[in-house]
Amino acid sequence: MNIINIALKEIKSEFRDIRTLVFMLAFPIVLMLVLGTALSNTFKTSIPVDNIHVLYQDTASNSQFDKFMEAANHSGIHFKQMKDKSDGKKQVKQGKYTGYIEVTDNGVQLYLNSRDSIEGNILQGMLSSYVDQYNIASVIMKNAPNQLASAFSHNTQASFIKETSLAPHKQPGSMDYYAIVMTTMIVLYGALSASSLIVKERVNKTADRLIAAPVTKSEIFIGKVVGSLLSNMVSVILVLFSSKLFFKANWGDHLGMVLLVLLTEVIFAVSLGIGISFLTKSSSAPRVILMLTVQLASFFGGAYFKIENPDGIFKFITELSPLTWINTGITKIIYSNDFSAAITAITLNLGMATLFLIIAIISLRRREGL
């Protein structure tokens, strides 16, 4: 009963502190909105291409270039005929058009504007396909003209290549990504409030009164830890469902597994805060150490910007951040239905939590008071 009463007292204290409540709830939601909106372009996997405008001159006797233009027009490539070839090259050089095409009996020449590299590559690829078909048609016309129609008939085409994607195109958008990393980051910030669970009793001179009360040190310790765990988990759940409701963030089809990973992170964060508070002597040192630790873990764990394919020493540093393995585990649950990384994250979280709790328990037993 004493443990329950102490836990309820800690929960009430957490939610009565308006500053802490705003930080734990409003701060991650605002950061999701700001970063998810401002950095949305960095998460796009496709590049929009506007209509492509091309100049051309066709002097070939039987090029069938008009059919190519008709088909290309459906793909957003628009052609304009030019009489003066020098003027066409000049306008392309000035950037007014993506390219200039000359079609003669000797072949096809393409002049591109180097500034529009993407549009130029699209145009070049389509034109190469046309030239290949034109060359094939020329050979058929010379050797078997009566087979030309059947050679290019759509009814005779067959698919000899079967294409299968080994890595399905399923990646988080900006809001999805920041919903995950902001939630895991704010969980880690819970270590700051956990570090003051025992320290604030010493600072407020209430530690002696607690020891004199008919309650054991173990009951005080367990009650405070349980209260901190519950209050932090409630905050995390509120942040998660707020991102899902307001920002339509994708948390996948295995929400229970995601919450399990977050719960183990809450246990790790609370244990980290308590362990550091017992390892230091002054009352202000734990917050300074934890603030520096959380900030570095957030930076190298991808909380502020997405870190892709790090190598060398930078990869080693990012893998030291607990947010790296936690974010990886949650992302793989959501987008790959892969639980192996999540099990790794859970194991590491609980292992580190056990270590810091053992440190706190040993230190508490050696103390006469709290």
Judged by average pLDDT, the poorest of 115-119, 198-202, 242-246 is 115-119
Banded pLDDT at 260 (limits 50, 70, 90): very high
Mean pLDDT of 264-292: 88
215 pLDDT exceeds 80? no
| CB atoms inside a 10 Å sphere around CB 181 | 26
Domain parsing of the chain, residue ranges: 2-43+177-366, 52-156
Burial class from Cβ neighbours inside 10 Å (0-12, 13-18, 19+) for residue 200 reads: middle
Of 48 and 118, the structure prediction assigns the larger pLDDT to 118
pLDDT at 106 over 60: yes
Query: What average pLDDT does the chain have?
Result: 79
Range with the poorest average pLDDT among 43-52, 269-278, 336-345, 347-356: 43-52
User: Is pLDDT at 81 greater than 80 in this prediction?
Assistant: no
**Across 164-173, 311-320, 323-332, which has the greatest mean pLDDT?**
323-332
The average pLDDT across 65-69 equals 74
Residue 155 has pLDDT above 70, yes or no: no
Alpha-carbon gap, residue 147 to 187, rounded angstroms:
71
**The pLDDT value given to residue 327:** 92
Structure tokens, 222: 């367990």
The pLDDT of residue 172 is above 90: no
Kindly write down the DSSP assignment for every residue of 358-370, as one continuous string.
HHHHHHHHHSS--
Percent above pLDDT 70 for the chain: 81
Buried residues in 224-240 as b, exposed as e (16+ CB within 10 A)? bbbbbbbbbbbbbeebb
C-alpha triplet 227, 229, 232: angle, nearest 5°: 105
> Per the confidence metrics, is the pTM higher than 0.85?
no
Q: Which pLDDT belongs to residue 160?
A: 47
Report which DSSP code applies to 305. S
Beta bridge partners of 107: 104
Could you tell me the strand order of the sheet in which 99-104 lies?
77-81, 52-58, 99-104, 107-112
Give Rg (Cα) of the chain.
32
Who's near 299: CB < 8 A, 6+ residues apart?
none
Regarding the domain delimited by 52-156, which CATH topology (the fold level of the hierarchy) does it fall under?
D-Maltodextrin-Binding Protein; domain 2 (3.40.190)
pLDDT higher than 90, residue 264: yes
